[in-house]
Amino acid sequence: MELLEARIESIAAGGAGLARVDGKPVFIKGGIPGERLVFNITKDHRSWAEAELIELLDASQDRVHPVCGIYGICGGCNLQHLDYKAQLAAKTDILKDAFVRIGGCSPPEPIVIPSEPWEYRNRMQFHAIRESGKKSAGVIWGLKSEKNAVPVPDCPIADPGIRKLLGEEKKSLLTPLGKDRFTVYARGDLFLCEGVCGRGKTRILDQDLSLDASLFFQSNGAMLEKLIKDLLAIAEEADHSMPMADLFCGVGTFAAFLGKLFPRSDLVEENKAAIALARVNVNAPADFFAQRGEDWVKRNSPKSYGFIIVDPPRQGLSQSLALRLAVEGPPLLLYVSCDPATLARDSKILTAENYTLKELRFYDFYPQTAHIESLAVFAK
């Protein structure tokens, strides 16, 4: 094993520390900017490498002791070794860097909206670790690491309802028979478990929204409320005489609030189970389309709307959808993103035509991790 020394330059997308050896980028898990450390290469690619931290030669003042006893093992958090304010700064830099490298521009300085750093996560996916030869008794709940499922006796980022259950034997009764992977949702008095008690309602601001544990729903309820309040304030600037559209609408969370500002909402979502719940959650005039966004725009011109919000998965917008929105989109377009790289890529397409990136916000939905949720406001 060859030991090398280097100084960490920055936190890279994904959470690893970035160093360089003879100009070659090396990503070292657990490294913090400014630290000099000893490491060894674990995977050597042509233009970059991955490495394991062996020894800290001088630690950063931003380094803290991880709260979780299985930090670095379970495959979940990857920034618990970094002070929370430093986490926010590092992720803000990652967001800005994506726009410079991929989007080819310097974005507006992001507005940073922090979260409670612990006990924030309402929705989690667990793996059932079963004792050999047993179907339900003796089931342990685990999280998926890089190689296998790791037993989780506690999780300090989880909602208190999930943390309480992790320490109790009765959780085995909630494990869906025959399912090795399942999702739970807990907030306040509500507890849902996919395959057992999967459907319920949660209070978001002044509304009860129906959700299903098996379908996507934002995992940080407190941050979701902050985001919705901001969306409502921004949407006040739109033309309220024209309809709005909500693409990748999921269970209709955004339109349930924003739809009241417009004469009609068009909700587009390819997951048929999600669009069925959206019909329940949206009480304003609305039409529902169980199809992909790129198929929807073939028959519905974006210029017929005064306001559009998109919330795509990590892959971002398809090129055809991004181009159509760029050319025919409404005066105000909001883009909720879970990946800075695809947001920057799509922003380059949008701003090459009629739009200006008016505002960029970073919502820290997932403290202690490198995940970055953001909102880009595009205006003509």
Which CATH number fits the domain that encloses residue 94? 3.40.50.150
pLDDT band at residue 145 using 50, 70 and 90 as cut-offs? confident
> In angstroms, rounded to a whole number, what is the distance separating the alpha carbons of residues 280 and 161?
26
Clarify whether residues 105 and 182 are in a common domain: no
| pLDDT tens-digit readout, 267-317 | 999 999 999 999 999 999 999 999 999 999 999 999 999 999 999 999 999
> In angstroms, rounded to a whole number, what is the distance separating the alpha carbons of residues 254 and 45?
42
Residue after which a domain boundary falls, among 212, 240, 275: 212
Six-digit token pair at 90?
């590092």
Asked about 338 being catalytic, the answer comes back as yes
Name the residue type at position 211: L
The parent domain of residue 105 ranges over 88-116+225-379
Clarify whether residues 56 and 112 are in a common domain: no
| pLDDT tens-digit readout, 237-250 | 999 999 999 999 99
The mean per-residue pLDDT over the stretch 102-124 comes to: 97
Sign, Cα dihedral of 221, 222, 225, 227: negative
The mean per-residue pLDDT over the stretch 358-365 comes to: 98
Q: Minimum mean pLDDT among 137-151, 173-187, 200-214, 335-349: which range?
A: 137-151
The mean per-residue pLDDT over the stretch 163-185 comes to: 87
Clarify whether residues 154 and 278 are in a common domain: no
Candidate list 74, 77, 249, 338, residue with the active-site label: 338
> In angstroms, rounded to a whole number, what is the distance separating the alpha carbons of residues 20 and 24?
5
| pLDDT tens-digit readout, 303-333 | 999 999 999 999 999 999 999 999 999 999 9
Confirm whether 50 is domain-assigned: yes
> What's the confidence (pLDDT) of residue 170?
80
pTM to 2 decimal places = 0.95
Clarify whether residues 283 and 145 are in a common domain: no
Q: Where are the alpha helices (DSSP H) in the chain?
A: 84-98, 160-166, 221-235, 253-258, 272-281, 293-296, 319-328, 340-351
Confirm whether 340 is domain-assigned: yes
Give the Cβ contact number of residue 45 at 10 Å.
10
Clarify whether residues 292 and 160 are in a common domain: no
> What's the confidence (pLDDT) of residue 45?
93
Clarify whether residues 340 and 247 are in a common domain: yes
Contact between 293 and 318 under an 8 Å Cβ cutoff? The reply is: yes
Confirm whether 278 is domain-assigned: yes
SS3 category, 192: strand
> What's the confidence (pLDDT) of residue 134?
56
- Is beta strand 286-289 parallel, antiparallel or unpaired with respect to 10-11? unpaired
> In angstroms, rounded to a whole number, what is the distance separating the alpha carbons of residues 69 and 135?
28
> What's the confidence (pLDDT) of residue 16?
96
Query: What is the tally of structural domains in the chain?
Result: 3
Could you tell me what percent of the chain has a pLDDT over 70? 98
Confirm whether 68 is domain-assigned: no
Clarify whether residues 107 and 132 are in a common domain: no
Complete DSSP assignment for 27-61: EETT--TT-EEEEEEEEE-SS-EEEEEEEEEE--T
Name the residue type at position 195: G
| pLDDT tens-digit readout, 23-75 | 999 999 999 999 999 999 999 999 999 999 999 999 999 999 999 999 999 98
Is residue 133 pLDDT above 70, yes or no? no
Confirm whether 36 is domain-assigned: yes
Clarify whether residues 157 and 10 are in a common domain: no
Clarify whether residues 141 and 197 are in a common domain: yes
Clarify whether residues 201 and 249 are in a common domain: no
Angle between helices 319-328 and 340-351 (to 10 degrees): 40
Confirm whether 70 is domain-assigned: no
Clarify whether residues 39 and 145 are in a common domain: no
Is residue 132 pLDDT above 80, yes or no? no
Clarify whether residues 191 and 232 are in a common domain: no
Six-digit token pair at 161?
């309802």
Confirm whether 285 is domain-assigned: yes
